Chain A
Amino acid sequence: MRTSVIAIVAVLAGTMGAAAQQKSAADAAKADAAIKAAFPTAPADWQSRFVQDETMKQCSLHENLPPKEIAEEIQKRERATIQYPADGQLMGDWQRGERIAQSGYGLRFTDYPPRQANGGNCYACHQLTKAEVSFGTIGPPLLNYGKNRNFSGADTKAVYDKIYNAQANYPCSTMPRLGANKVLTIDQIKDLVALVMSPDSAVNK
């Protein structure tokens, strides 16, 4: 008797789970269509901005809290996107990095034709240097990040990876995949790594 009740409950829960999943997928399809229709003046070369890759789809569907298997799948897929500098040098110039961190320029419809390089806009979400008091709090504070980690090589590589593609470490992170999505170049990412990890950087002073 008890076993059959459990079985029925399990079947019901399974059906409900599947139904919820189907409903979410249906909502996602409607959202795709609604978004595509909501920007009728978009130029032809902007159409790709409406299309989600598999990771965006999974993160949207799970409202950025993917179940374990999907989180692992995302992590594996995103890790594979990371490209390293040909010469193996992960750190550039921290002062250039500071300028990239300050700039939110790039890829908005008012930014065309491009008048300067894209920014990383790091300060929008992170505290970095003591001098800059206008910083956001969506991301963790990074003040003294390198110093607190003894400027280790392993951490330098981890920082490079996080800037290149945060989702390789944190599936469905709100942070843009700056390298993987070609918002920043490898050289710009190196400069940002220096900003966070160099002993000379204002982040670590």
Chain B
Amino acid sequence: MTKRFLFIVVCAVLAGIPVARAQDETEKALEKYRQMLKEDPWSNPALLDADRGEALWKAAGGPNRVSLERCDLGKGPGVVDGAFAELPRYFADADRVMDAETRILWCMEKLQGFNRADLIKSPHPAGGQPVKDLGAIATYVASQSSGMQFSAKLDTAKEKEAVELGRAIFFRRQGPHDFACATCHADTGKRIRLQGLPYLIQPEEAKKVIGEWPAYRVSNTHVMTMQHRLFDCYWQMRMPQLEMGSDASVALISYLVKTAEGGEIATPGLKR
């Protein structure tokens, strides 16, 4: 299928078809691919990673040789069903707000005995490589809320603070290009080259896209998680490597999820 998209795009370009039409054709092909996936829900390659994540969640692992089944994702130890739909949230044991990946990271460190520094040293896969274990677990956890709505309350003082900080970071311009998240995501119907950009401060558009992550990315042939998505945005913003689980990353995810409140979770999604 990937080849077919490329074929359509290349043909359109060679034929000198006006870009809007080439764009339409690409979108149509992509929509057809998504439709086929809906008809055959087992065809998204990310499901293999979700399965791997489930096995990792249940298997004794780490120096402590324990599974993550005692990990509390917010609904009690071991409860995965629906937990992602209520994240990010404040966790008293860690005394901070955490998104799914940051919480899994915490459980891997505190329960399984992994060294946090090792886990966050190179947490995201290179192009063509499979998602790392933590990302596979996050894909599994998120998939267990698929079909539900984002319903994180984010209403306590620390949670509200995270959402507000997230908005401030979203608009914070920095680096040699003066880039902020808002540079690309604060208007509707815009593109970078041919890539459409969601208007993320607007609930309607945020609801459509935030719930698709983690997603299988066809161009990278791997699953990309939300933390990885942000890491990649900051790379493009000419900033250094965003630390997984950093307060800034959690705040941004809190802000995005709050904006997408009520939106349907449809993960693992499928992206270009």
Give the B-binding residues of A (Cβ under 8 A).
24, 27-28, 30-32, 34-35, 37-43, 46, 49-52, 56, 59-60, 63-64, 107-110, 123-125, 133-138, 174, 176-177, 181-183
A136–B165 CB distance below 8 A:
no
27 A-B pairs (CB sep. < 8 Å): A27-B168, A34-B246, A35-B169, A35-B248, A39-B234, A46-B240, A49-B240, A56-B174, A60-B180, A63-B186, A64-B182, A109-B235, A124-B192, A125-B192, A133-B13, A134-B194, A136-B193, A136-B195, A137-B189, A137-B191, A138-B187, A138-B190, A138-B191, A138-B192, A174-B182, A183-B176, A183-B177
Min distance, Cβ B39 to any Cβ of chain A, angstroms: 31
A109–B178 CB distance below 8 A:
no
Return chain A residues, CB-CB under 8 Å to B238: 49, 107-108
A35–B172 CB distance below 8 A:
yes
Q: Tally chain B residues at the interface, Cβ within 8 Å.
A: 49
B165–A31 CB distance below 8 A:
yes
Q: Is B43 an interface residue (CB 8 A)?
A: no
Known: A42-B241, A135-B19, A176-B176. 5 other contacts (CB 8 A): A30-B168, A32-B172, A35-B174, A107-B177, A136-B194
Return chain B residues, CB-CB under 8 Å to A133: 12-13, 16-19, 22
A107–B242 CB distance below 8 A:
no
Cross-interface CB contact of B247 among A37, A52, A108, cutoff 8 Å: A37
Alpha-carbon gap, A183 to B187, bound state (A): 25
B176–A60 CB distance below 8 A:
no
Alpha-carbon gap, A52 to B180, bound state (A): 12
B174–A52 CB distance below 8 A:
yes
Q: Is B249 an interface residue (CB 8 A)?
A: yes
Given A27-B168, A28-B168, A136-B193, A56 and B173 touching (CB < 8 A)? yes
B190–A39 CB distance below 8 A:
no
Alpha-carbon gap, A28 to B189, bound state (A): 28
Alpha-carbon gap, A189 to B190, bound state (A): 25
Min distance, Cβ A168 to any Cβ of chain B, angstroms: 13
Return chain B residues, CB-CB under 8 Å to A51: 174
Given A31-B169, A49-B174, A182-B176, A109 and B19 touching (CB < 8 A)? no
Q: Is B205 an interface residue (CB 8 A)?
A: no
Q: How many A-B residue pairs have CB under 8 A?
A: 133
A41–B171 CB distance below 8 A:
no
Given A108-B236, A133-B19, A41 and B241 touching (CB < 8 A)? yes
Alpha-carbon gap, A41 to B236, bound state (A): 17
Cross-interface CB contact of A49 among B176, B243, B247, cutoff 8 Å: B176
Alpha-carbon gap, A38 to B252, bound state (A): 12
A181–B177 CB distance below 8 A:
yes
Q: Is B183 an interface residue (CB 8 A)?
A: yes
Give the A-binding residues of B (Cβ under 8 A).
12-13, 16-19, 22, 164-165, 167-169, 171-180, 182-184, 186-187, 189-195, 197, 234-236, 238-243, 246-249, 251
Alpha-carbon gap, A87 to B12, bound state (A): 44
Min distance, Cβ B148 to any Cβ of chain A, angstroms: 29
Alpha-carbon gap, A110 to B241, bound state (A): 10
Min distance, Cβ A38 to any Cβ of chain B, angstroms: 4
Counting chain B CB atoms within 10 Å of each CB, which of A34, A56, A181 scores highest? A34
A134–B164 CB distance below 8 A:
no
A60–B193 CB distance below 8 A:
no
Cross-interface CB contact of B171 among A39, A43, A60, A123, cutoff 8 Å: A60
Q: Kindly report which residue of chain A lies nearest to residue B20, judged by CB atoms.
A: A133
Alpha-carbon gap, A46 to B176, bound state (A): 10
Given A28-B168, A64-B182, A133-B19, A34 and B251 touching (CB < 8 A)? yes
Alpha-carbon gap, A24 to B175, bound state (A): 21
B235–A39 CB distance below 8 A:
no
Return chain B residues, CB-CB under 8 Å to A59: 173, 178
B235–A38 CB distance below 8 A:
no
Q: Kindly report which residue of chain B lies nearest to residue A46, judged by CB atoms.
A: B240
Give the 7 A-B residue pairs with the shortest CB-CB distance, closest first: A38-B248, A42-B240, A38-B246, A176-B177, A31-B168, A133-B19, A27-B168
Min distance, Cβ B115 to any Cβ of chain A, angstroms: 15
Cross-interface CB contact of A38 among B187, B194, B195, B249, cutoff 8 Å: B249
Q: Kindly report which residue of chain B lies nearest to residue A118, judged by CB atoms.
A: B176
B193–A123 CB distance below 8 A:
yes
Alpha-carbon gap, A39 to B13, bound state (A): 40
Q: Kindly report which residue of chain A lies nearest to residue B244, judged by CB atoms.
A: A38
Given A125-B192, A136-B191, A138-B184, A39 and B239 touching (CB < 8 A)? yes
